[in-house]
Amino acid sequence: MLDTTFTEHAFKRVSERLHLSPEEVAQLLNEDKYVPLGKDGSSKRVHKLFYSEPDSFWFVAVQDEVTKEVVTVLPVDYHHRWKVSGDALSFARARTRGEQISLPHPMLPGPETESGPEMVTLRFLGQIINQKCKTRTVGLGRMRYELRHLDLVSYDSAVQKFLRDQLEEVPFVEGEFLEEIHAYYGKGGNKKYMNLQLKTLL
């Protein structure tokens, strides 16, 4: 079995983007501690989702399945080839930690109970600030989301696309920029708030 190697470009990207070394990334891939996302047609390049503990973040390695050479490594929020599901993120993190999991195909929905997974309605708010440090809050819509995956909201490509679309409708004036995005669910005194770490949107 061939071991993972890196192109010069991929080696540089790992060094720039991750706190893991290229050798540590290679070990994760060699030990199958990743989730396969799919393959680029006839190019024989496979996309492999893995989790970096030092970065507390997910990355995608694009690797030649024949030579095992990695051609690039991307943060998951830069990866637009396929939608990355909450289940896939959870499985990738579990695999990195050596947890025992049952892995369905990541492109298909996982098993659900008869009544389905517990859902909540997330409401999104954007905080906009200007050059004089004055702030205003704008509504950014709402969407249904699985309660069990709330810790992955910031990394979900579907959420990011939804918020990008919402932000296109927000009228910004000169000197204003988006400072934070919050989400909350629940009503009255039971509201729970989250500050979303959406680096690519801010």
**Which residue from 128, 183, 190 is spatially nearest to 152, judged by alpha carbons?**
183
Residues 85-143 pLDDT 10s: 788 888 899 888 887 554 444 433 444 444 567 888 999 999 999 988 899 999 999 99
Please report, rounded to a whole number, the percentage of residues in the chain having pLDDT higher than 70.
Answer: 84
Separation between Cα atoms, residue 47 and residue 24, nearest integer Å: 18
pLDDT at 41: 66
pLDDT at 150: 78
Domain residue spans of the chain: 5-96, 119-196
Average pLDDT for the chain: 83
Residues 22-48 pLDDT 10s: 999 999 999 989 988 887 766 788 899
DSSP string, 18-30: -SS-HHHHHHHHH
pLDDT at 79: 61
Residues 153-186 pLDDT 10s: 776 778 888 898 999 999 998 899 898 899 999 8
Across 34-38, 69-73, 145-149, 151-155, the highest mean pLDDT is recorded for 69-73
The pTM of the full predicted model, rounded to 2 decimals, is: 0.55
- With a cut of 90, say whether residue 2 has pLDDT above it: no
CA angle 121, 124, 126 (to 5 degrees): 175
- With a cut of 50, say whether residue 194 has pLDDT above it: yes
CA angle 24, 30, 35 (to 5 degrees): 95
